[in-house]
Structure 1
Amino acid sequence: MTMSSTRSLFAAAVLAASALCTGPVLALEPATGKVVLTVSGKVAAKNTAQAADFDMAMLEAMPQKTFTTLTPWDRQPIKFSGPLLRDVLAAAKASGTTLKAVAVNDYSTTIPLSDTQQFDMVLATRMNGQPIPPRTKGPLFIVYPYDSQPTLQAPIYKDRSAWQLRSLLVE
């Protein structure tokens, strides 16, 4: 077999293989448990046709950040744990300028993507070491480290937080 016929055979095999790939190219492992978060919009790593879906096991497998802070809604400081929001977005290969966070009750807020780099915001899966029940603020809660900087005491950061989070739209 000559070099040019080998190249032609290889090119034909590549074309045939690409013709068989009619579905979306998936970059994340599929969620195997109940989906607790859908990240859609400007995301390059997806595990469904349109979005990056995460189950709790996927979120808990990421590096975890823990901090204790007083929130605008509580009288005592609370210890929050979960992946950094920027790590979740990196897993989905998100690119954009804003996030639209939507809660189970359809509350929505817009968060500048730059906040996720500037602040160690967590996508909290635990409060005081326990999973967050849906009847309170769970199972997911975007939390800023309010006590870490005076800037985060401004009401705008309270408004950008979202509990009972179900989806993020990257715009």
Structure 2
Amino acid sequence: MDHAAIAASLSIPSGKTILKVGGSITEHNAGDEAIFDLAMLEALGTARFATATPWTDSRATWEGVPLVTLMTAVGASGKTIRATALNDYVVDVPLVGLAEDGAILAFRRDGQLMPISDKGPLFILYPFDDETRLQNQSFYMRCAWQVARLDII
């Protein structure tokens, strides 16, 4: 995937905006922000993994855009992603290690889009079942559901 080409051609969403990205980014499509609808996130390319989480009743298959891919697409430069949920809950995710740790911004659970009532539309997750080193509070605290905004700081 040519991430530079994606960043250079950040289009305007044609569907409902589900994510706003701001802060230290070089690619914009809405003032000083980059905004995305679902189709734009899917077009960046997706990753899928099955894992249980501390917040769900059972193991599920999660699909979404790798955070490292999204950060490349917006031209992120900084040290931290500050994620804000619809209820104003905030978590900080280090930019370092996103690719190695496999973090995604999930929008599907078991093949279905996630409604707001079930942790959607976007959920920052790690493949906990794939790597035991991810099964600890420092990684659990980087996760957030109902994500609406990412700021690069």
Matched position secondary structure for 1:146:
coil
- The structure having more radius of gyration, on CA atoms, is 1
- Gaps of at least 5 residues in structure 2 are 1-7
Which has the bigger relative contact order, CA under 8 A and spacing at least 6?
Answer: 2
Following superposition, the deviation at residue 111 of structure 1 comes to: 0.8
Partners of 1:166 and 1:115 in 2: how far apart? 22
Question: Counterpart of 2:4?
Answer: none
**1:45, 1:52 within 8 Å by CA — same for their partners in 2?**
yes
Deviations 1:62-95 (A, max 9, x none): 2111100011112321100011111111110111
Coordinate RMSD, CA, aligned? 1.2
> Which one of the candidate residues 53, 59, 62 is aligned to 2:44?
62
Q: Write the mapping of 1:1-171 to structure 2, written as runs, cut at 5 A.
A: 28-171=10-153
- Gaps of at least 5 residues in structure 1 are 1-25
Structure 1's consecutive aligned runs of 4 or more residues displaced over 3 angstroms after TM superposition are none
Matched position secondary structure for 1:28:
coil
Following superposition, the deviation at residue 27 of structure 1 comes to: 5.0
Matched position secondary structure for 1:148:
coil
Larger fraction in helix: 1
Partners of 1:31 and 1:140 in 2: how far apart? 16
**1:27, 1:47 within 8 Å by CA — same for their partners in 2?**
no
Deviations 1:112-149 (A, max 9, x none): 11131321111101000000011110010011111111
Partners of 1:86 and 1:57 in 2: how far apart? 18
**1:27, 1:46 within 8 Å by CA — same for their partners in 2?**
no
- Alignment-mate amino acid for residue 88 of structure 1: L
115-124 vs 26-35, greater mean Cα deviation: 26-35
Q: How high is the TM-score relative to the length of structure 2?
A: 0.91
Give aligned pairs, total.
Answer: 146
**1:66, 1:82 within 8 Å by CA — same for their partners in 2?**
yes
Q: How high is the TM-score relative to the length of structure 1?
A: 0.82
